[in-house]
A and B are shown apart, each in its own frame.
Chain A
Amino acid sequence: MKIVVAYKWAPNPQDATVGADGAVDWSRAKPGISEYDPVAVELARTLADTNGGEVIGLTVGTTGVAAPLARKAALSRRLDRAVIVADDALEGAGTTEVAAVLAAAVRHIGDVDLVITGDSSVDVGSRMMTPVLAGQLGWPAVAAVSAVTGTAASLRVERAVGGGSELLGISGPAVLAAATDAVVPRLPGMKDILVAAKKPVVTLTLADLAVPAAGGTVTVRATSRPDLKTRKGQMIDTTDPNAAAAELVSALRGDGLQL
Chain B
Amino acid sequence: MTVTTWIVVAGNPAVGSLISIARSLGGEVRAAVVGPRAVAETVAAGGVDRVSWFGEPGDRPVEAYATAVAEAVAAAPGVLLSADCAGDRVLLGAAAARLQAPALTGASAVSVEGDGVLVTRSLFGGIAAQTVAVTGPVALVLDGGPVPTAVGSAPIEEVAATPLPMTIVATTPAATEQIDLSAATRVVGIGRGLKAKADLDLISVLAGAAAAEVGCSRPLAEGLEWLGKDRYIGVSGENIAPELYFAIGISGQLQHMVGVREATTIVAINSDPNAPVFTDADYGLVGDLYQIVPALIEALK
Within 8 A of B (CB), among A164-178: 164-171
Bound: A125/B243 CA distance, A: 28
B102-124 vs A, Cβ < 8 Å mask (1 yes, 0 no): 11111010000000101000111
Q: How many residues of A contact B (CB 8 A)?
A: 85
Q: A135-B93, A233-B278, A236-B285 are in contact. Are A142 and B63 (CB under 8 A)?
A: yes
Contact residue among A144, A166, A252 (Cβ-Cβ distance under 8 Å from B170): A166
List, in ascending order, chain A residues with CB within 8 A of B299's CB.
242, 245-246, 248-249
A233 lies within 8 A of B168 (CB):
no
Q: A163-B228, A220-B130 are in contact. Are A212 and B174 (CB under 8 A)?
A: no
List, in ascending order, chain A residues with CB within 8 A of B130's CB.
22, 220-224
List, in ascending order, chain A residues with CB within 8 A of B125's CB.
13, 123, 125
Q: A13-B255, A96-B97 are in contact. Are A216 and B134 (CB under 8 A)?
A: yes
Total of A-B residue pairs, C-beta within 8 Å: 290
B171 lies within 8 A of A132 (CB):
no
A244 lies within 8 A of B100 (CB):
no
B93 lies within 8 A of A141 (CB):
yes
Chain A CB within 10 Å — which of B93, B105, B255, B294 has the most? B93
List, in ascending order, chain B residues with CB within 8 A of A212's CB.
100
Q: How many residues of B contact A (CB 8 A)?
A: 101
Contact residue among B175, B262, B278, B279 (Cβ-Cβ distance under 8 Å from A164): B175
B132 lies within 8 A of A138 (CB):
no
Chain A interface, DSSP helix/strand/loop, else mixed: mixed
The residue in chain B whose Cβ has the minimal distance to the Cβ of A26 is B124
CB distance from B31 to the nearest CB of A (A): 19
List, in ascending order, chain B residues with CB within 8 A of A134's CB.
66, 90, 93-94, 97
B285 lies within 8 A of A238 (CB):
yes
CB distance from A254 to the nearest CB of B (A): 11
B99 lies within 8 A of A244 (CB):
no
The residue in chain A whose Cβ has the minimal distance to the Cβ of B290 is A241
Q: Is B254 an interface residue (CB 8 A)?
A: yes
Within 8 A of A (CB), among B130-159: 130-138, 141
Bound: A139/B94 CA distance, A: 9
CB distance from B245 to the nearest CB of A (A): 11
List, in ascending order, chain A residues with CB within 8 A of B279's CB.
231, 233
Q: Is B196 an interface residue (CB 8 A)?
A: no
List, in ascending order, chain B residues with CB within 8 A of A100's CB.
97, 100
Q: Is A136 an interface residue (CB 8 A)?
A: yes
Within 8 A of B (CB), among A143-175: 143-144, 156, 160-171
A226 lies within 8 A of B127 (CB):
yes
Contact residue among A136, A223, A245 (Cβ-Cβ distance under 8 Å from B97): A136
A225 lies within 8 A of B129 (CB):
yes
Bound: A180/B232 CA distance, A: 13
List, in ascending order, chain A residues with CB within 8 A of B9's CB.
none
Q: A94-B103, A252-B244 are in contact. Are A259 and B300 (CB under 8 A)?
A: yes
A216 lies within 8 A of B135 (CB):
yes
A248 lies within 8 A of B296 (CB):
yes
Q: A140-B165, A233-B282, A236-B285 are in contact. Are A218 and B134 (CB under 8 A)?
A: yes
Taking A135-B70, A168-B61, A259-B300 as known contacts, 14 extra A-B pairs with beta carbons closer than 8 A to each other, sorted by chain A number, are A13-B254, A94-B102, A131-B92, A133-B97, A134-B66, A140-B166, A141-B94, A142-B61, A214-B100, A221-B130, A232-B283, A236-B284, A241-B294, A244-B292
A residues near B (Cβ < 8 Å) are 13-14, 16, 18, 22-24, 94-96, 99-100, 120, 123-128, 130-136, 138-144, 156, 160-171, 180-181, 212-229, 231-236, 238, 241-242, 244-246, 248-249, 251-252, 255, 257, 259
Task: Show 14 A/B contacts (Cβ-Cβ < 8 Å), sorted by A.
Answer: A22-B129, A127-B105, A128-B92, A128-B105, A131-B96, A132-B94, A140-B66, A164-B171, A166-B172, A216-B137, A226-B128, A229-B262, A234-B283, A241-B287
